[in-house]
A and B are shown apart, each in its own frame.
Chain A
Amino acid sequence: MARITYVETNGTEHEVDVANGQSLMAGAVAHMIPGIEGDCGGLCACATCHVYIPDAWQTVCGEPEELEQNILDFAFDVDSNSRLCCRIEVTDELDGIRVLMPERQY
């Protein structure tokens, strides 16, 4: 289990506990956090679970695979911190992470 803080663009912070093995996207959806949609349910096929991972957490989160990189083309305002959070599995190591949301997912 890890305590995750999802930060909306307006600054609202949602601090929630997400079980290991769940994706960051599923954790956000289960806690009804606005700003992460997850339309495809985690198939890496919709680009509506775009988030920014702070530099300090990049290593823990790993590198995006090619499919994710491609699908990120459809997300808005992508930068080098961008990830599709259905591709990030929660582990104890993610405890304390702050995940920032983009302005829009559609």
Chain B
Amino acid sequence: MSFIESHAVQLLTDLPEALIITTASGEIVFFNDSAATQSGFNSDEMLGQHISRMLPESHRRKVNVVTWLERWADNPDPEQLRYLSLAGVRKNGDERRYQVRVSKFEDKADVYFAVVLRDVTETQELTVQLRHAQLISNRIIAIGEDAVLSIDADFKVCLWNKKAELLFGYTENEILGKSIDILIPEAFRDTHRQNIQSFSTDKIPSKYMGERAEILGLHKSGRMIPLEASITKTHIDNKLIMSAQVRDISERKQSLKSLEDSEARFRAIFDHAVEAISLLDASGLVIEINPAATDMLPLDEYVKDKHLWELTWWGSNDSSEKLEAEEALQNNVMEATQGNLVRTRTELSTSRGLVQIDFSLIPVSDTNGEVIYIIAEARKLIEL
């Protein structure tokens, strides 16, 4: 012990923590090397100075350093000391934040504070930045169009956004800590669990919607919801969290179905019509041609992506007549392109000879009045 006593001053001077000893009124009587390194002030400059030289008062905060040193010396509150920091300033004017530990000791009638300061500026800034980054991502998750949820290694829900609440009917309070099973219809629970289990251990970090089969979810009300989900996992510090972005695809499935139904109805008419029909785009290129047309005009080549008038069967066998007929048809198509209905009688050369037909070009316009399709219709009149 006598060894420590004789080296006490040296020990305190060399202490790796910044140590300052002040009188009860805040006058500095000891300022160790670490305090000098941390603050940029040296011991000679600071001895005899008030501690507020280093921990200045601010017009924006009421903190009185000496009052708080005394409070904490008498009654150190670990929570406060963890969260509160005193604003300091280095000799070069840099603002710093110090976490403080204080003890009080008495020498005869005099009271002293031993103050240990830890510079937490960077840590605090980093924490604040992280916190704000988290706030931003949380707000993004909250407004997301998809439901977002996370589960832990025990399959318990640990994150739940607003859309998830709307999709499944459970509020955050109701679902946090509950098993994900309740979101899956009973018949599929085991398979779903096995799928998650194998995802949790396989090598792939994420799987995307479209790569995964559609799943069925269960609304709080008992209603089944067809869902698509992208999933991802994070395994940090031995803690596994699996997150999913879940989309309700009932509407999409419904519109796909309506589209398919409407296509089927269109097909029924188009494919079974007695009249020969061809659908052209606004420039006269053939998009579709129906069976009645191919039947009437046994086609010897592929007709799609050609202009109607370029098809070899148009016109008679005589080449000059054929040219004439082609020109006439091209003019008629151009006429229809302008939005005009064209009706003519004309001849077609087919493998069975010349055929006279009643031929119409019907322009179809969009809501802006622009022609988007032309329907070419041919009705056989007489086989010549």
Beyond A32-B135, A34-B135, whether A45 also contacts B61 by CB under 8 A is no
Helix, strand, loop or mixed for chain A's interface? loop
Helix, strand, loop or mixed for chain B's interface? helix
Residues of B within 8 A of A70 (CB): 71
**Chain A interface bracket (under 10, 10 to 19, 20 to 34, 35 or more):** 20 to 34
- Interchain Cβ contacts within 8 Å, total number: 44
Are A45 and B77 neighbours in the complex by a CB distance under 8 Å? yes
Are A45 and B79 neighbours in the complex by a CB distance under 8 Å? yes
Q: What is the interface size of chain B, counting residues whose CB is below 8 A from a CB of the partner?
A: 21
Are A73 and B63 neighbours in the complex by a CB distance under 8 Å? yes
A32–B134 Cα distance when bound, in Å, is: 10
Residue of A nearest to B97 (CB): A106
Interface residue from B61, B64, B128, B139 paired with A32 (Cβ < 8 Å):
B139
In the complex, how many angstroms separate the beta carbon of A47 from the nearest chain B beta carbon? 7
Are B124 and A106 neighbours in the complex by a CB distance under 8 Å? yes
Residues of A within 8 A of B64 (CB): 73
Interface residue from B60, B68, B84, B138 paired with A77 (Cβ < 8 Å):
B60
Beyond A32-B138, A34-B135, A106-B128, whether A75 also contacts B61 by CB under 8 A is yes
In the complex, how many angstroms separate the beta carbon of B151 from the nearest chain A beta carbon? 20
Are B138 and A74 neighbours in the complex by a CB distance under 8 Å? no
Are B84 and A74 neighbours in the complex by a CB distance under 8 Å? yes
**Is A76 interfacial (CB 8 A cutoff)?**
yes
Which positions 48-88 of chain A face chain B at CB distance < 8 Å? 48, 70-78
Beyond A34-B135, A45-B77, whether A76 also contacts B60 by CB under 8 A is yes
Beyond A40-B79, A46-B84, A47-B84, whether A76 also contacts B131 by CB under 8 A is no
Are B131 and A37 neighbours in the complex by a CB distance under 8 Å? yes
Interface residue from A48, A74, A106 paired with B63 (Cβ < 8 Å):
A74
Interface residue from B62, B63, B83 paired with A39 (Cβ < 8 Å):
B83
A45–B75 Cα distance when bound, in Å, is: 14
In the complex, how many angstroms separate the beta carbon of B91 from the nearest chain A beta carbon? 23
Are B80 and A71 neighbours in the complex by a CB distance under 8 Å? yes
In the complex, how many angstroms separate the beta carbon of A40 from the nearest chain B beta carbon? 5
**Is A43 interfacial (CB 8 A cutoff)?**
yes
In the complex, how many angstroms separate the beta carbon of B320 from the nearest chain A beta carbon? 79
A106–B135 Cα distance when bound, in Å, is: 16
Are A74 and B61 neighbours in the complex by a CB distance under 8 Å? yes
Q: Which residues of B are interface residues toward A (Cβ below 8 A)?
A: 60-64, 68, 71, 77, 79-80, 82-84, 124, 128, 131-132, 135, 138-139, 142
6 smallest CB-CB distances across A and B, nearest first, come from A46-B83, A45-B79, A73-B62, A45-B80, A73-B63, A76-B60
With A32-B135, A45-B82 given, name 7 new contacts (CB 8 A): A32-B142, A40-B82, A40-B83, A73-B64, A73-B68, A74-B63, A74-B84
Q: Which residues of A are interface residues toward B (Cβ below 8 A)?
A: 32, 34, 37, 39-40, 43, 45-48, 70-78, 106
